[in-house]
Chains A and B, each alone.
Chain A
Amino acid sequence: MTPALKRTAAALLAAAVLLVLAWRAWEAVAPLNVSLSVMGKFWRASTPARLLNSRLFRREPNFGVALLGRDRSLPFGADVVLTVPLALPDAAAEEMRRKAAFVLAPRRVTLARGDTGREGFALAADPPGGAP
Protein backbone atom coordinates (compact mmCIF):
# COMPACT_ATOMS: atom_id res chain seq x y z
CA MET A 1 0.00 0.00 0.00
CA THR A 2 1.44 3.38 -0.98
CA PRO A 3 1.87 6.01 1.75
CA ALA A 4 -0.70 8.24 0.05
CA LEU A 5 -3.29 5.48 -0.04
CA LYS A 6 -2.55 4.58 3.56
CA ARG A 7 -2.90 8.23 4.59
CA THR A 8 -6.24 8.53 2.77
CA ALA A 9 -7.60 5.29 4.22
CA ALA A 10 -6.61 6.22 7.78
CA ALA A 11 -8.04 9.73 7.44
CA LEU A 12 -11.33 8.40 6.06
CA LEU A 13 -11.66 5.78 8.82
CA ALA A 14 -10.92 8.29 11.57
CA ALA A 15 -13.21 10.94 10.09
CA ALA A 16 -16.06 8.47 9.71
CA VAL A 17 -15.76 7.26 13.32
CA LEU A 18 -15.53 10.77 14.74
CA LEU A 19 -18.47 12.02 12.65
CA VAL A 20 -20.68 9.12 13.78
CA LEU A 21 -19.71 9.70 17.42
CA ALA A 22 -20.25 13.45 17.15
CA TRP A 23 -23.64 12.98 15.50
CA ARG A 24 -24.76 10.59 18.24
CA ALA A 25 -23.52 12.99 20.92
CA TRP A 26 -25.51 15.82 19.38
CA GLU A 27 -28.62 13.64 18.96
CA ALA A 28 -28.55 12.90 22.70
CA VAL A 29 -29.26 16.54 23.56
CA ALA A 30 -31.19 17.69 20.48
CA PRO A 31 -33.21 19.84 20.28
CA LEU A 32 -30.81 21.82 22.41
CA ASN A 33 -33.26 24.54 23.38
CA VAL A 34 -35.60 21.91 24.86
CA SER A 35 -32.74 20.31 26.82
CA LEU A 36 -31.65 23.70 28.15
CA SER A 37 -35.22 24.61 29.05
CA VAL A 38 -35.68 21.34 30.97
CA MET A 39 -32.35 21.97 32.68
CA GLY A 40 -33.42 25.49 33.70
CA LYS A 41 -36.69 24.22 35.20
CA PHE A 42 -34.97 21.53 37.23
CA TRP A 43 -32.25 23.85 38.55
CA ARG A 44 -34.86 26.43 39.63
CA ALA A 45 -37.10 23.84 41.34
CA SER A 46 -37.00 22.78 44.98
CA THR A 47 -35.36 19.50 45.99
CA PRO A 48 -38.70 17.62 46.45
CA ALA A 49 -40.03 18.96 43.12
CA ARG A 50 -36.84 17.79 41.41
CA LEU A 51 -37.25 14.30 42.78
CA LEU A 52 -40.94 14.07 41.90
CA ASN A 53 -40.32 15.24 38.33
CA SER A 54 -37.26 13.05 37.77
CA ARG A 55 -37.64 9.95 35.64
CA LEU A 56 -37.98 8.00 38.88
CA PHE A 57 -41.51 9.19 39.68
CA ARG A 58 -42.68 10.80 36.46
CA ARG A 59 -45.20 8.01 35.89
CA GLU A 60 -46.20 7.45 39.52
CA PRO A 61 -46.14 10.82 41.28
CA ASN A 62 -48.43 9.57 44.07
CA PHE A 63 -45.84 7.02 45.09
CA GLY A 64 -43.17 9.71 45.13
CA VAL A 65 -45.31 12.05 47.23
CA ALA A 66 -46.05 9.27 49.74
CA LEU A 67 -42.34 8.40 50.00
CA LEU A 68 -41.36 12.02 50.55
CA GLY A 69 -44.02 12.28 53.27
CA ARG A 70 -42.64 9.20 55.03
CA ASP A 71 -39.12 10.48 54.59
CA ARG A 72 -40.05 13.67 56.45
CA SER A 73 -42.00 11.96 59.23
CA LEU A 74 -39.88 8.90 60.05
CA PRO A 75 -36.61 9.08 61.97
CA PHE A 76 -33.56 7.64 60.19
CA GLY A 77 -33.45 4.88 62.80
CA ALA A 78 -36.84 3.45 61.75
CA ASP A 79 -37.21 0.91 58.98
CA VAL A 80 -40.10 0.72 56.52
CA VAL A 81 -42.39 -1.96 55.13
CA LEU A 82 -43.66 -1.39 51.61
CA THR A 83 -46.82 -3.40 50.91
CA VAL A 84 -47.77 -4.01 47.29
CA PRO A 85 -50.75 -5.88 45.77
CA LEU A 86 -50.63 -9.67 45.57
CA ALA A 87 -51.13 -9.52 41.81
CA LEU A 88 -48.22 -7.17 41.12
CA PRO A 89 -45.45 -8.97 39.17
CA ASP A 90 -42.21 -9.55 41.07
CA ALA A 91 -40.12 -7.28 38.85
CA ALA A 92 -42.50 -4.34 39.30
CA ALA A 93 -42.62 -4.91 43.06
CA GLU A 94 -38.83 -5.02 43.25
CA GLU A 95 -38.61 -1.79 41.25
CA MET A 96 -40.96 -0.11 43.72
CA ARG A 97 -38.84 -1.35 46.61
CA ARG A 98 -35.67 0.06 45.03
CA LYS A 99 -37.30 3.45 44.54
CA ALA A 100 -38.52 3.42 48.12
CA ALA A 101 -35.09 2.41 49.43
CA PHE A 102 -33.51 5.21 47.39
CA VAL A 103 -35.78 7.94 48.76
CA LEU A 104 -35.88 6.63 52.31
CA ALA A 105 -32.15 5.82 52.69
CA PRO A 106 -30.55 5.06 55.12
CA ARG A 107 -33.67 3.23 56.29
CA ARG A 108 -34.13 -0.39 55.33
CA VAL A 109 -37.18 -1.09 53.16
CA THR A 110 -38.71 -4.56 53.13
CA LEU A 111 -41.37 -5.76 50.76
CA ALA A 112 -44.69 -7.30 51.76
CA ARG A 113 -47.74 -8.46 49.82
CA GLY A 114 -51.25 -7.65 50.89
CA ASP A 115 -54.24 -5.35 50.66
CA THR A 116 -53.18 -1.86 49.59
CA GLY A 117 -56.50 -0.14 48.79
CA ARG A 118 -56.86 2.19 45.85
CA GLU A 119 -53.34 3.59 46.04
CA GLY A 120 -51.73 0.32 44.98
CA PHE A 121 -49.17 0.49 47.77
CA ALA A 122 -48.92 1.07 51.52
CA LEU A 123 -46.01 2.34 53.60
CA ALA A 124 -45.64 1.59 57.29
CA ALA A 125 -42.91 1.97 59.87
CA ASP A 126 -41.20 -1.25 60.91
CA PRO A 127 -41.71 -1.91 63.78
CA PRO A 128 -45.19 -0.31 63.78
CA GLY A 129 -45.16 2.93 65.68
CA GLY A 130 -41.69 3.87 64.52
CA ALA A 131 -43.05 7.25 63.50
CA PRO A 132 -42.68 9.98 66.07
Chain B
Amino acid sequence: MSRSASRLVGAAALLLLVLGVFTAGVFAMREPFALNDYTAIWGLKARALHRSGSLASLFRVDPAGAFSHPEYPPLWPLLLTVATRARLPYDDLVATPLWPLLALAASLLAVRAALRWNVAPPFALLAGAALSLLPYWRTYPGYAEGLLLVFVLAAAGEAGRAGVGAGATLRLSIFLTLAAWTKPEGLVAALAAAVVLALARRFRAALLVAASALLFAALPWALVVRRLAPQPLPTAFALSAFSFEKAVAALAALAAEAAPAAGLALAAAGLLALAPQTLRRRRMVLAWAALYSAVLLGSFAFSRFDSAWHVRWSWDRILVVPLAVLIPALAEALAESATGRNEEPLPEATPPAPAPAR
Protein backbone atom coordinates (compact mmCIF):
# COMPACT_ATOMS: atom_id res chain seq x y z
CA MET B 1 0.00 0.00 0.00
CA SER B 2 1.35 3.42 -0.90
CA ARG B 3 2.30 5.93 1.75
CA SER B 4 -0.49 8.31 0.74
CA ALA B 5 -3.09 5.51 0.89
CA SER B 6 -1.77 4.56 4.31
CA ARG B 7 -2.10 8.17 5.48
CA LEU B 8 -5.63 8.33 4.08
CA VAL B 9 -6.63 5.20 5.99
CA GLY B 10 -5.05 6.58 9.16
CA ALA B 11 -6.82 9.94 8.83
CA ALA B 12 -10.19 8.28 8.17
CA ALA B 13 -9.66 5.98 11.15
CA LEU B 14 -8.80 8.88 13.43
CA LEU B 15 -11.88 10.79 12.26
CA LEU B 16 -14.12 7.78 12.92
CA LEU B 17 -12.57 7.21 16.34
CA VAL B 18 -13.23 10.82 17.30
CA LEU B 19 -16.80 10.51 16.00
CA GLY B 20 -17.34 7.33 18.00
CA VAL B 21 -16.06 8.69 21.30
CA PHE B 22 -17.78 12.06 20.77
CA THR B 23 -21.19 10.52 20.06
CA ALA B 24 -20.80 8.10 22.99
CA GLY B 25 -20.02 11.10 25.18
CA VAL B 26 -22.90 13.25 23.99
CA PHE B 27 -25.34 10.35 24.23
CA ALA B 28 -24.29 9.49 27.78
CA MET B 29 -23.77 13.00 29.14
CA ARG B 30 -26.89 14.70 27.80
CA GLU B 31 -28.98 13.33 30.69
CA PRO B 32 -28.40 11.38 33.91
CA PHE B 33 -27.82 7.64 33.71
CA ALA B 34 -31.30 6.15 34.26
CA LEU B 35 -31.75 3.07 32.08
CA ASN B 36 -33.15 -0.27 33.26
CA ASP B 37 -30.17 -2.15 34.67
CA TYR B 38 -28.52 1.08 35.79
CA THR B 39 -31.55 1.90 37.92
CA ALA B 40 -32.16 -1.65 39.13
CA ILE B 41 -28.55 -2.75 39.67
CA TRP B 42 -25.55 -0.49 39.09
CA GLY B 43 -26.88 2.96 40.02
CA LEU B 44 -28.89 1.58 42.92
CA LYS B 45 -25.74 0.00 44.37
CA ALA B 46 -23.63 3.09 43.70
CA ARG B 47 -26.15 5.29 45.50
CA ALA B 48 -26.35 2.86 48.41
CA LEU B 49 -22.55 2.69 48.69
CA HIS B 50 -22.18 6.45 48.33
CA ARG B 51 -24.61 7.18 51.13
CA SER B 52 -23.76 4.38 53.54
CA GLY B 53 -20.09 3.74 52.82
CA SER B 54 -20.72 0.06 53.50
CA LEU B 55 -20.83 -3.04 51.32
CA ALA B 56 -23.63 -4.31 53.55
CA SER B 57 -25.93 -1.74 51.93
CA LEU B 58 -25.73 -3.72 48.65
CA PHE B 59 -27.64 -6.47 50.41
CA ARG B 60 -29.94 -4.29 52.49
CA VAL B 61 -31.59 -2.61 49.48
CA ASP B 62 -32.68 -5.97 48.10
CA PRO B 63 -32.17 -8.70 50.70
CA ALA B 64 -34.11 -11.31 48.72
CA GLY B 65 -32.09 -10.64 45.56
CA ALA B 66 -35.33 -9.95 43.70
CA PHE B 67 -33.97 -7.50 41.14
CA SER B 68 -30.56 -5.98 41.96
CA HIS B 69 -28.34 -9.08 41.87
CA PRO B 70 -26.57 -8.38 45.18
CA GLU B 71 -24.24 -11.28 44.32
CA TYR B 72 -22.73 -9.42 41.34
CA PRO B 73 -19.18 -8.20 42.02
CA PRO B 74 -18.99 -4.54 43.12
CA LEU B 75 -16.20 -2.90 41.10
CA TRP B 76 -18.40 -0.83 38.75
CA PRO B 77 -20.65 0.59 41.52
CA LEU B 78 -17.50 1.35 43.52
CA LEU B 79 -16.04 3.23 40.57
CA LEU B 80 -19.29 5.17 40.10
CA THR B 81 -19.18 6.04 43.79
CA VAL B 82 -15.57 7.24 43.62
CA ALA B 83 -16.29 9.26 40.46
CA THR B 84 -19.12 11.13 42.14
CA ARG B 85 -17.48 11.44 45.56
CA ALA B 86 -16.84 15.15 45.13
CA ARG B 87 -20.52 15.75 44.56
CA LEU B 88 -22.97 15.35 47.40
CA PRO B 89 -25.64 14.05 47.25
CA TYR B 90 -24.94 11.25 44.75
CA ASP B 91 -25.67 12.61 41.29
CA ASP B 92 -26.16 10.30 38.30
CA LEU B 93 -25.24 13.04 35.82
CA VAL B 94 -21.83 13.58 37.42
CA ALA B 95 -21.00 9.93 36.74
CA THR B 96 -21.77 10.18 33.01
CA PRO B 97 -18.31 11.49 31.88
CA LEU B 98 -17.00 8.05 32.88
CA TRP B 99 -18.77 6.66 29.83
CA PRO B 100 -16.82 8.41 27.03
CA LEU B 101 -13.66 7.82 29.07
CA LEU B 102 -14.37 4.09 29.05
CA ALA B 103 -15.16 4.21 25.32
CA LEU B 104 -11.88 6.03 24.67
CA ALA B 105 -9.90 3.65 26.89
CA ALA B 106 -11.43 0.59 25.22
CA SER B 107 -10.70 2.05 21.76
CA LEU B 108 -7.09 2.81 22.62
CA LEU B 109 -6.67 -0.65 24.09
CA ALA B 110 -8.03 -2.13 20.85
CA VAL B 111 -5.38 -0.08 18.98
CA ARG B 112 -2.73 -1.32 21.40
CA ALA B 113 -3.81 -4.95 20.97
CA ALA B 114 -3.68 -4.61 17.18
CA LEU B 115 -0.24 -2.99 17.31
CA ARG B 116 1.02 -5.79 19.56
CA TRP B 117 -0.23 -8.23 16.96
CA ASN B 118 1.98 -6.41 14.40
CA VAL B 119 -0.91 -4.75 12.58
CA ALA B 120 0.22 -1.64 10.67
CA PRO B 121 -0.68 1.58 12.58
CA PRO B 122 -3.42 2.87 10.20
CA PHE B 123 -5.24 -0.45 10.42
CA ALA B 124 -4.70 -0.64 14.18
CA LEU B 125 -6.31 2.80 14.40
CA LEU B 126 -9.25 1.42 12.40
CA ALA B 127 -9.68 -1.22 15.12
CA GLY B 128 -9.98 1.57 17.69
CA ALA B 129 -12.47 3.43 15.49
CA ALA B 130 -14.65 0.34 15.03
CA LEU B 131 -14.59 -0.26 18.78
CA SER B 132 -15.74 3.27 19.56
CA LEU B 133 -18.53 2.98 16.97
CA LEU B 134 -20.04 -0.19 18.47
CA PRO B 135 -23.74 0.53 19.16
CA TYR B 136 -23.28 -0.70 22.74
CA TRP B 137 -21.84 2.69 23.79
CA ARG B 138 -24.99 4.45 22.63
CA THR B 139 -27.48 1.83 23.82
CA TYR B 140 -26.55 0.98 27.40
CA PRO B 141 -24.93 3.99 29.09
CA GLY B 142 -24.14 3.25 32.71
CA TYR B 143 -24.01 -0.53 32.37
CA ALA B 144 -21.03 -2.56 33.60
CA GLU B 145 -19.89 -4.03 30.28
CA GLY B 146 -18.15 -0.74 29.47
CA LEU B 147 -15.64 -1.40 32.25
CA LEU B 148 -15.54 -5.11 31.40
CA LEU B 149 -14.58 -4.25 27.81
CA VAL B 150 -11.64 -2.17 29.05
CA PHE B 151 -10.21 -5.03 31.13
CA VAL B 152 -10.82 -7.70 28.49
CA LEU B 153 -9.22 -5.60 25.74
CA ALA B 154 -6.27 -4.83 28.02
CA ALA B 155 -5.93 -8.60 28.50
CA ALA B 156 -6.18 -9.18 24.74
CA GLY B 157 -3.11 -7.01 24.28
CA GLU B 158 -1.13 -9.36 26.55
CA ALA B 159 -2.52 -12.65 25.24
CA GLY B 160 0.05 -13.12 22.49
CA ARG B 161 3.00 -13.13 24.90
CA ALA B 162 1.24 -14.81 27.84
CA GLY B 163 3.20 -17.86 28.85
CA VAL B 164 6.28 -16.53 27.05
CA GLY B 165 7.02 -13.35 28.98
CA ALA B 166 6.50 -13.35 32.74
CA GLY B 167 5.35 -9.71 32.74
CA ALA B 168 2.72 -10.35 30.07
CA THR B 169 1.38 -13.37 31.94
CA LEU B 170 1.14 -11.37 35.15
CA ARG B 171 -0.59 -8.46 33.44
CA LEU B 172 -3.02 -10.82 31.69
CA SER B 173 -3.89 -12.36 35.05
CA ILE B 174 -4.38 -8.97 36.69
CA PHE B 175 -6.62 -7.64 33.91
CA LEU B 176 -8.77 -10.76 33.90
CA THR B 177 -8.99 -10.74 37.70
CA LEU B 178 -10.24 -7.15 37.51
CA ALA B 179 -12.74 -8.31 34.86
CA ALA B 180 -13.96 -10.93 37.33
CA TRP B 181 -14.46 -8.15 39.91
CA THR B 182 -16.62 -6.29 37.37
CA LYS B 183 -19.22 -8.84 36.23
CA PRO B 184 -19.76 -12.59 36.48
CA GLU B 185 -18.97 -12.69 32.75
CA GLY B 186 -15.48 -11.47 33.67
CA LEU B 187 -14.86 -14.74 35.50
CA VAL B 188 -16.07 -16.62 32.41
CA ALA B 189 -13.62 -14.55 30.34
CA ALA B 190 -10.77 -15.50 32.67
CA LEU B 191 -11.61 -19.20 32.75
CA ALA B 192 -12.10 -19.31 28.97
CA ALA B 193 -8.66 -17.69 28.60
CA ALA B 194 -7.19 -20.32 30.90
CA VAL B 195 -8.72 -23.12 28.82
CA VAL B 196 -7.38 -21.65 25.57
CA LEU B 197 -3.92 -21.15 27.08
CA ALA B 198 -3.95 -24.76 28.28
CA LEU B 199 -4.94 -25.96 24.81
CA ALA B 200 -1.96 -23.98 23.47
CA ARG B 201 0.22 -25.83 26.00
CA ARG B 202 0.94 -22.70 28.00
CA PHE B 203 0.08 -24.49 31.20
CA ARG B 204 1.74 -22.14 33.69
CA ALA B 205 0.00 -19.12 32.21
CA ALA B 206 -3.32 -20.99 32.20
CA LEU B 207 -2.86 -21.91 35.85
CA LEU B 208 -1.91 -18.38 36.86
CA VAL B 209 -4.89 -16.81 35.05
CA ALA B 210 -7.40 -19.27 36.49
CA ALA B 211 -5.93 -19.21 40.00
CA SER B 212 -5.74 -15.42 40.09
CA ALA B 213 -9.37 -14.94 38.98
CA LEU B 214 -10.64 -17.61 41.35
CA LEU B 215 -8.50 -16.84 44.41
CA PHE B 216 -8.34 -13.05 44.17
CA ALA B 217 -11.82 -12.28 42.80
CA ALA B 218 -14.40 -15.08 42.85
CA LEU B 219 -13.50 -16.57 46.23
CA PRO B 220 -13.16 -13.37 48.31
CA TRP B 221 -16.37 -11.97 46.84
CA ALA B 222 -18.20 -15.25 47.48
CA LEU B 223 -17.07 -15.03 51.11
CA VAL B 224 -18.34 -11.45 51.38
CA VAL B 225 -21.69 -12.48 49.88
CA ARG B 226 -21.93 -15.41 52.27
CA ARG B 227 -21.19 -13.14 55.22
CA LEU B 228 -23.42 -10.21 54.28
CA ALA B 229 -26.40 -11.76 52.48
CA PRO B 230 -29.21 -12.19 55.02
CA GLN B 231 -30.59 -15.20 53.15
CA PRO B 232 -29.51 -17.52 50.31
CA LEU B 233 -29.79 -15.53 47.08
CA PRO B 234 -31.68 -16.86 44.06
CA THR B 235 -29.67 -17.63 40.94
CA ALA B 236 -30.70 -16.89 37.37
CA PHE B 237 -29.40 -20.27 36.18
CA ALA B 238 -29.54 -23.80 37.55
CA LEU B 239 -28.56 -27.22 36.19
CA SER B 240 -31.98 -28.52 37.19
CA ALA B 241 -33.64 -25.84 35.03
CA PHE B 242 -32.28 -27.33 31.79
CA SER B 243 -34.72 -28.41 29.15
CA PHE B 244 -34.40 -29.06 25.43
CA GLU B 245 -37.40 -26.78 24.76
CA LYS B 246 -35.66 -23.93 26.57
CA ALA B 247 -32.57 -24.38 24.44
CA VAL B 248 -34.63 -24.32 21.24
CA ALA B 249 -36.62 -21.27 22.40
CA ALA B 250 -33.37 -19.46 23.28
CA LEU B 251 -31.86 -20.32 19.90
CA ALA B 252 -34.97 -19.10 18.06
CA ALA B 253 -35.01 -15.87 20.06
CA LEU B 254 -31.31 -15.34 19.39
CA ALA B 255 -31.79 -15.87 15.65
CA ALA B 256 -34.70 -13.41 15.59
CA GLU B 257 -32.89 -10.78 17.66
CA ALA B 258 -29.58 -11.05 15.83
CA ALA B 259 -31.09 -11.11 12.31
CA PRO B 260 -30.79 -7.32 11.78
CA ALA B 261 -27.06 -7.56 12.52
CA ALA B 262 -26.54 -10.48 10.12
CA GLY B 263 -25.08 -8.22 7.43
CA LEU B 264 -22.40 -6.91 9.78
CA ALA B 265 -21.61 -10.43 11.00
CA LEU B 266 -21.31 -11.72 7.44
CA ALA B 267 -19.01 -8.83 6.52
CA ALA B 268 -16.77 -9.64 9.50
CA ALA B 269 -16.74 -13.33 8.56
CA GLY B 270 -15.93 -12.36 4.97
CA LEU B 271 -12.97 -10.27 6.10
CA LEU B 272 -11.58 -13.19 8.09
CA ALA B 273 -12.19 -15.62 5.22
CA LEU B 274 -10.13 -13.38 2.92
CA ALA B 275 -7.15 -13.52 5.30
CA PRO B 276 -6.04 -17.11 5.93
CA GLN B 277 -2.78 -16.10 7.62
CA THR B 278 -4.66 -13.96 10.14
CA LEU B 279 -7.05 -16.83 10.77
CA ARG B 280 -4.07 -19.09 11.49
CA ARG B 281 -2.23 -16.57 13.67
CA ARG B 282 -5.30 -15.58 15.71
CA ARG B 283 -6.75 -19.04 16.24
CA MET B 284 -6.32 -18.62 20.01
CA VAL B 285 -8.31 -15.37 19.99
CA LEU B 286 -10.98 -16.98 17.80
CA ALA B 287 -11.09 -20.01 20.09
CA TRP B 288 -11.49 -17.75 23.14
CA ALA B 289 -14.32 -15.78 21.48
CA ALA B 290 -16.09 -18.98 20.44
CA LEU B 291 -15.72 -20.58 23.88
CA TYR B 292 -16.84 -17.45 25.77
CA SER B 293 -19.87 -17.01 23.49
CA ALA B 294 -20.79 -20.71 23.62
CA VAL B 295 -20.66 -20.85 27.42
CA LEU B 296 -22.73 -17.73 27.95
CA LEU B 297 -25.26 -18.35 25.18
CA GLY B 298 -25.46 -22.03 26.17
CA SER B 299 -26.30 -20.99 29.71
CA PHE B 300 -29.68 -19.75 28.48
CA ALA B 301 -30.76 -23.40 28.24
CA PHE B 302 -30.33 -23.47 32.03
CA SER B 303 -32.23 -20.22 32.69
CA ARG B 304 -34.73 -20.27 35.53
CA PHE B 305 -36.71 -17.61 33.68
CA ASP B 306 -38.35 -17.71 30.27
CA SER B 307 -35.22 -18.36 28.17
CA ALA B 308 -36.48 -16.36 25.17
CA TRP B 309 -37.06 -13.35 27.42
CA HIS B 310 -33.62 -13.85 28.95
CA VAL B 311 -32.02 -13.88 25.47
CA ARG B 312 -33.87 -10.76 24.31
CA TRP B 313 -32.79 -8.95 27.47
CA SER B 314 -29.09 -9.68 27.27
CA TRP B 315 -27.82 -11.29 24.04
CA ASP B 316 -26.24 -8.14 22.58
CA ARG B 317 -24.52 -7.22 25.86
CA ILE B 318 -23.07 -10.73 26.06
CA LEU B 319 -21.78 -10.77 22.49
CA VAL B 320 -20.27 -7.29 22.57
CA VAL B 321 -17.33 -8.64 24.62
CA PRO B 322 -16.11 -11.34 22.18
CA LEU B 323 -16.88 -9.02 19.28
CA ALA B 324 -14.67 -6.32 20.79
CA VAL B 325 -11.80 -8.79 21.18
CA LEU B 326 -12.24 -9.90 17.56
CA ILE B 327 -12.02 -6.34 16.22
CA PRO B 328 -8.18 -6.14 16.31
CA ALA B 329 -8.12 -9.49 14.48
CA LEU B 330 -10.50 -8.07 11.87
CA ALA B 331 -8.17 -5.09 11.45
CA GLU B 332 -5.32 -7.52 10.97
CA ALA B 333 -7.35 -9.43 8.37
CA LEU B 334 -8.09 -6.19 6.53
CA ALA B 335 -4.41 -5.26 6.60
CA GLU B 336 -3.46 -8.68 5.22
CA SER B 337 -5.92 -8.39 2.34
CA ALA B 338 -5.23 -4.74 1.62
CA THR B 339 -1.45 -4.80 1.71
CA GLY B 340 -0.90 -8.34 0.52
CA ARG B 341 1.79 -8.66 3.17
CA ASN B 342 1.75 -11.07 6.04
CA GLU B 343 3.98 -9.72 8.68
CA GLU B 344 4.92 -12.60 10.87
CA PRO B 345 5.67 -11.54 14.42
CA LEU B 346 9.29 -11.49 15.39
CA PRO B 347 10.35 -14.75 16.97
CA GLU B 348 10.22 -14.67 20.74
CA ALA B 349 13.54 -14.59 22.52
CA THR B 350 14.22 -18.13 23.64
CA PRO B 351 17.27 -19.45 25.42
CA PRO B 352 19.64 -21.38 23.17
CA ALA B 353 19.16 -25.12 23.20
CA PRO B 354 21.69 -26.90 25.39
CA ALA B 355 24.48 -28.65 23.57
CA PRO B 356 23.91 -32.40 23.34
CA ALA B 357 25.79 -34.36 25.95
CA ARG B 358 28.69 -36.33 24.68
A residues apposed to B, CB below 8 Å? 1, 3, 6-7, 9-11, 13-14, 16-18, 20-22, 24-26, 28-29, 32, 35-36, 38-39, 42-43, 47, 50-51, 53-56, 76, 94, 97-99, 101-102, 105-109
Contact = CB atoms under 8 A, between A and B. Distances in A.
B30 interface: yes
Interface stretch (B112-120, B179-187, B191-199, B265-273): B265-273
B61 A106 contact: yes
Contacts, number: 151
B91 A50 contact: yes
A27 to B, nearest CB: 9
Contact of B270 (A7, A13, A36, A99): A13
Interface of B: 16, 19-20, 23-24, 26-27, 29-32, 34-35, 39-40, 43-45, 47-48, 51-52, 54, 57, 60-63, 67-68, 87, 89, 91-93, 126, 129-130, 133-135, 138, 263-264, 267-268, 270-271, 274-275, 330, 333-334, 337-338, 340
A11 B122 CA distance: 13
B130 A7 contact: no
Contacts of A14: 126, 267, 271, 330, 334
A94 B64 CA distance: 14
A106 B23 contact: no
Contacts of B27: 28-29, 35
B31 A55 contact: yes
B62 A101 contact: yes
A54 B34 contact: yes
A108 to B, nearest CB: 6
B89 A35 contact: no
B130 A18 contact: yes
Contacts of B44: 98, 101-102, 105
Contact of B93 (A28, A42, A105, A106): A42
16 contacts: A7-B340, A10-B338, A13-B274, A21-B135, A26-B23, A28-B27, A29-B27, A38-B31, A42-B32, A50-B93, A54-B31, A55-B34, A98-B39, A101-B62, A105-B48, A106-B57
Contacts of A38: 30-31
A132 B340 CA distance: 75
A101 B59 CA distance: 12
Contacts of A108: 60-63
B133 A21 contact: yes
Given A98-B39, A102-B44, A108-B60, A17 B268 contact: yes
Given A10-B338, A56-B34, A28 B23 contact: yes
A96 B63 CA distance: 18
